[in-house]
């Protein structure tokens, strides 16, 4: 029977990554991997280059995090540093949506 991982919350990892934007990637990666059972969730948000990165990534039903990448100086960077909650339109009115932990205002599509 296949092993299932239910209810894993990677929010602390994603917040750790966000808090380290601008810092040296190898150090960040080493610290993150040391606390995980597998490194895959890191790369849900972090791309190897800006071209491969996404402005934001949806994690779960209504949670979004800024997309990141490793820049040419081997530093962790945001794909779109000017992205705000105003840039994301929630896809339903019944849920509370967040970007990097901040509530996205509920407004019409």
Residue 5 lies in a domain: no
- pLDDT tens digits along 56-69: 999 988 999 999 99
pLDDT tens digits in sequence order for the chain, 109 residues long: 455 555 678 999 999 999 999 999 999 999 999 999 889 999 999 999 999 999 999 998 899 999 999 999 999 999 999 999 999 988 888 889 999 999 999 876 5
User: Taking every pair of C-alpha atoms in the chain, what is the biggest distance, in angstroms?
Assistant: 45
> Taking the model in full, what pTM does it have?
0.87
Q: What is the pLDDT of residue 53?
A: 97
Which residues, in sequence order, are CB contacts of 54 under 8 Å at separation 6+? 47, 67, 79
Residue 109 lies in a domain: no
Instruction: Domain of residue 50: give its range.
Output: 11-103
Question: How far, in Å, CA of 41 to CA of 57, rounded?
Answer: 12
Residue 70 lies in a domain: yes
Phi and psi of 100, rounded to 5°? 55, 35
- The continuous run of DSSP H or E covering 46 comes out as strand 46-47
Task: Calculate the CA dihedral of residues 48, 30, 7, 85 and round it to 10 degrees.
Answer: -50
Tokens representing residue 96 in the block: 């509370």
Length of the chain: 109
Residue 71 lies in a domain: yes
Q: How many domains does the chain have?
A: 1
């Amino acid at each position: 029977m296949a092993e299932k991982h239910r209810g894993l919350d990677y929010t602390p990892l994603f917040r750790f990554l966000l808090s380290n934007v601008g810092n040296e990637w190898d150090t960040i990666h080493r610290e993150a991997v040391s606390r995980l059972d597998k490194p895959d969730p890191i790369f849900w948000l972090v791309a190897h280059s800006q071209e491969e990165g996404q402005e934001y990534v949806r994690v779960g039903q209504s949670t979004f995090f800024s997309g990141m990448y490793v820049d040419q100086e081997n530093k962790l960077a945001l794909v779109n540093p000017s992205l705000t909650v105003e840039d994301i339109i929630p896809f339903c009115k019944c849920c509370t949506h967040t970007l990097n932990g901040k509530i996205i205002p509920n407004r019409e599509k």
